[in-house]
Amino acid sequence: MIAYIGTGLLGSNFTKALLKKGEKVNVWNRTASKAKALEADGAKAFDNVADAVKGANRIHLTLKDDAAVNEVLEKASAGFEPGVIIIDHTTTTAIGAAERTEQWKKRGYTYIHAPVFMGPQNALESTGTMMVSGDQAVIATIEPELAKMTGKVLNFGTDTNKAAGIKLIGNLFLIAMTAGLADTLSMAKSLGISIDEVSQLFATWNPGAMLPMRLKKMTSNTFDQPTWELSMARKDAGLMMLEAKRAGRPLAVIPAIADEMDKWIAKGLGNNDWTVIAKDAM
């Protein structure tokens, strides 16, 4: 039997997918009504988290953060079965994942951090990407079951905090990309360019396809072989901010990047490739 702790948008759909696969699932959520609603799909809801995990050989969690995971697991531990495996899909700090692995090991239980790049629909359809790291012998036993929950399981080795770190890196990029798109739409509005026209541009010209080569360029230390000089990129950033200011639609991301560009130009690197602004990150 499986226990699922945390039945928000992601957890509830993971639960529904497990039930459709014929699994028996106990559920608990801090807001009890969210867990109770899953009884219509065949789950068994509990008001007490320790009762929800009794008899479970596998416990899955999708909670808010480190503090929530620590608090709920402590309360649930009164009902843990010997040999139970705790699989945590919560996005947490890397150090938190490592500490929980060690703490629960000392108490005789197995904790594996397995964050995901999946939305609620992916959880329902069992598509997307799940990451794991830690005890490889344990992962080998659970990976077939995790693979049923998602389209892809990426194993990042023995470091117990590696999957958590990879998840944060991925989310950072998503946040940065979304913020960049927000500036893009604001810029389009400033210039009287429609969303349909922006969509037409990106349907034909896909900057995402450039990511592998851009990463290679940024990490190759060949900034003295420019494909776009920093001074020219800074000039364009200035044009963007000027157009946005004229329209009374200030940008959120570009000004911060322009400031960083100015720092590197002040160091005399204006003729370098503009990706030199990432040099200190290497």
Q: What is the pLDDT of residues 85-142, one digit of tens each?
A: 999 999 999 999 999 999 999 999 999 999 999 999 999 999 999 999 999 999 999 9
Same domain, 35 and 100: yes
Q: Identify which of 161, 185, 12, 194 has the alpha carbon closest to the alpha carbon of residue 91.
A: 161
- The whole-number pLDDT of residue 32 equals 96
Same domain, 144 and 69: yes
Domain end position, chosen among 105, 137, 160: 160
Report yes or no: 270 and 229 within 8 Å, Cβ to Cβ. Answer: yes
Same domain, 38 and 117: yes
Same domain, 29 and 119: yes
Domain range spanning residue 53? 2-160
Residue 113 parent element (H or E): strand 110-113
Same domain, 147 and 270: no
- The whole-number pLDDT of residue 250 equals 85
Q: In what order do the strands lie in the sheet with 129-132?
A: 116-117, 129-132, 152-155
Placement of tokens 């639609």 in the chain: 249
The pTM is what? 0.91
Same domain, 199 and 246: yes
125 within domain boundaries: yes
Same domain, 156 and 212: no
Placement of tokens 């226990």 in the chain: 3
Residue 269 sits in a domain whose CATH number is 1.10.1040.10
Same domain, 122 and 72: yes
Alpha carbons 88 and 132: distance in angstroms, whole number: 10
44 within domain boundaries: yes
Same domain, 126 and 70: yes
Residue pLDDT, tens place only, 138-184: 999 999 999 999 989 999 999 999 999 999 999 999 999 999 999 99
Domain end position, chosen among 136, 160, 184: 160
Q: What's at 75, amino acid-wise?
A: K
pLDDT at 281 over 90: no
